[in-house]
Amino acid sequence: MFAHLRPQADDPILVLMRAFQADPRPGKVDLGIGVWRDAEGRTPVFGAVKTAEERLWRTQDTKSYVSFAGDPAFHAAVGDLLLGSVTRPRAVTATTGGTSAVQTLLALSQVARPAAQVWIPAETWPNHRVLAEHLGLATRAFTYLAPEGTGIDREVLLRDLAQAQAGDVVILHACCHNPTGIDPDPELQAEIVDSLARTGAVPLVDCAYLGFGAVPEADAAFLRRLASLPEAMLAFSGSKSFGLYRERVGLALVLLEQPGVVEAVQSQLTRLNRVNYSFPPDHGARVVTEILADPALRTAWEAELAAIRTALSANRQALAKALRARLQSDRFDGLAAQSGMFAMLPLGKERVMRMREDFAVYAVGTGRVNLAGVTPRTTDRVAEAIAAVLRD
Ligand code: LMR
């Protein structure tokens, strides 16, 4: 039965992670997978998470099943975090991390409209396309960056999106665009919302880096604009914003026009969970709920998030400055103004490979770098590697 199977091409981010781990060179620098690391290269557990876990350890008296859609308190807490005062009829389920939130929402779209096309930004998290294709959904790319790679090609992006059909799905990033770090400004956000309102295509907003670009309220601005559309889907991940990577915290939320549709959509979400994994994991979701519901814990969490944000921004500034000095050019100045964990350096695959081979500096093949890896200790090495591969 299995003898004819061939290995699948691995996700480039995971390939990189393995290559980095296997590299024996001291001083190697990991700019790969989207995990926050401090200046010492550690990914500590948030203090607010530790406190919430301690409370749960003391007070939780059962690990029995919750429900197929997860804990309603978690739905409400994350719903409020994402949407603030936007109240809309909604169907919602906890998922096993952000990937499964995206996958669940794509599967729901497929049930609702098997012929739906999924519009995916030309630059995006590689798993978006893989998930859509795995489900057998048709995909279309829409332009995101302009050819020089330093800004969004507004005109072409809007021209592409105008071709979407009613009931197509358009994948957008709530904030801190992965991989480019370049988000639409408020004017373009409004134009994208108008375009979707005209075509009737439905946004699927991937929200994996809330709080990494600005305070959560501000990082939720685009998502809240999109929530004004008749229908919208939100995929939340708690991996980065709460540092709960391995706990698989996710939420899929569907905003609906008619309250009468909620029950049917909710039952579809529940069924998707049942056929995939029955009950979503609860521990991380409960930790998030505890943090968001307790004002002191929430303040502590926001302060920890702010510290990450400040460090990422400082790393960006330092890299831009180091590159300016080495290259005697303002070519990378734009880095400093970008947002979140990532930037995409227009180096080309070959140069990225040379950085890996000659300098043990590991970026994703597309040129994506995780700014958490550009610390005061590594900035010079990274800048030197970039400058060297650009020189030859
Ligand atoms: C990333 O983009 O590096 C992260 O979201 C991790 C992942 O699952 O790919």
CB 225 within 8 A of CB 203: no
Q: Are residues 20 and 120 in the same domain?
A: no
Query: Considering the domain boundaries, does residue 51 fall inside one?
Result: no
Say yes or no: CB of residue 235 within 6 Å of ligand 1.
no
pLDDT of residue 12: 84
Say yes or no: CB of residue 178 within 6 Å of ligand 1.
yes
Rounded to whole angstroms, the Cα distance separating 384 from 392 reads 13
Q: Are residues 285 and 302 in the same domain?
A: no
Q: Are residues 282 and 316 in the same domain?
A: no
Q: What is the β-pairing status of strands 169-173 and 138-142? A: unpaired
Beta-carbon neighbour count of residue 247 at 10 Å?
A: 22
44 DSSP assignment: P
Atom nearest to 370 CA in ligand 1: 3
ipTM score here?
0.93
Query: Considering the domain boundaries, does residue 226 fall inside one?
Result: yes
Determine the residue type at 293.
Answer: A
Say yes or no: CB of residue 16 within 6 Å of ligand 1.
no
Number of separate domains in the chain: 2
CA 142 to chain centre: 18
The CATH number of the domain holding residue 85 is 3.40.640.10
Rounded to whole angstroms, the Cα distance separating 224 from 190 reads 11
Q: Are residues 192 and 75 in the same domain?
A: yes
Residues 144-151: contacts with CB within 8 Å, 24+ apart? 144/177, 144/180, 145/180, 145/182, 145/344, 148/346, 149/180, 149/344, 149/346, 150/182, 150/334, 150/346, 151/182, 151/334
Write out the two tokens for 368.
């994506």
Find tokens 């946004």 and name the residue: 203
Rounded to whole angstroms, the Cα distance separating 41 from 311 reads 13
Determine the residue type at 97.
Answer: G
Ligand 1 probe mutation, 14, 17, 33, 212, most atoms within 8 A of CB: 33
Q: Are residues 355 and 218 in the same domain?
A: no
Boundary of a domain, candidates 258, 276, 293: 293
Say yes or no: CB of residue 78 within 6 Å of ligand 1.
no
Boundary of a domain, candidates 264, 293, 322: 293
Q: Are residues 241 and 359 in the same domain?
A: no
Question: At 353, phi and psi to the nearest 5?
Answer: -65, -40
What is the domain extent for residue 353?
12-45+298-391
pLDDT of residue 53: 98
Write out the two tokens for 389.
């591969």
Kindly report the protein residue whose alpha carbon is nearest to atom 2 of ligand 1: 34
Write out the two tokens for 137.
């959904």
Q: Please tell me whether the overall predicted TM-score, pTM, comes out greater than 0.80 for this model.
A: yes
Within the chain, strands assigned E span 29-30, 90-96, 117-121, 138-142, 169-173, 202-207, 232-237, 249-255, 342-344, 361-362, 368-370
Q: Are residues 219 and 316 in the same domain?
A: no
The CATH number of the domain holding residue 365 is 3.90.1150.10
Say yes or no: CB of residue 33 within 6 Å of ligand 1.
yes
Give, for all 392 residues of the chain, the pLDDT tens digit.
Answer: 999 999 988 888 888 999 999 999 999 999 999 999 999 999 999 999 999 999 999 999 999 999 999 999 999 999 999 999 899 999 999 999 999 999 999 999 999 999 999 999 999 999 999 999 999 999 999 999 999 888 999 999 999 999 999 999 999 999 999 999 999 999 999 999 999 999 999 999 999 999 999 999 999 999 999 999 999 999 999 999 999 999 999 999 999 999 999 999 999 999 999 999 999 999 999 999 999 999 999 999 999 999 999 999 999 999 999 999 999 999 999 999 999 999 999 999 999 999 999 999 999 988 999 999 999 999 999 999 999 999 87
By 3-state DSSP, what share of the chain in percent is helix, strand and coil, each rounded to 5?
50, 15, 40
CB 243 within 8 A of CB 52: no
Q: Are residues 256 and 335 in the same domain?
A: no
Rounded to whole angstroms, the Cα distance separating 124 from 109 reads 20
Determine the residue type at 189.
Answer: Q
Q: Are residues 183 and 331 in the same domain?
A: no
Rounded to whole angstroms, the Cα distance separating 60 from 54 reads 10
CA–centroid distance, residue 135 to ligand 1 (Å)? 20
pLDDT of residue 215: 98
36 DSSP assignment: -
Residues serving a catalytic function are 125, 206, 208, 240
Ligand 1 probe mutation, 43, 95, 125, most atoms within 8 A of CB: 125
Q: Are residues 221 and 112 in the same domain?
A: yes
Query: Considering the domain boundaries, does residue 5 fall inside one?
Result: no
pLDDT of residue 314: 96
Query: Considering the domain boundaries, does residue 2 fall inside one?
Result: no
Query: Considering the domain boundaries, does residue 229 fall inside one?
Result: yes
Say yes or no: CB of residue 179 within 6 Å of ligand 1.
no
Boundary of a domain, candidates 293, 321, 342: 293
Q: Are residues 284 and 327 in the same domain?
A: no
Atom nearest to 208 CA in ligand 1: 5
Q: Are residues 187 and 326 in the same domain?
A: no
Q: What is the β-pairing status of strands 202-207 and 232-237? A: parallel
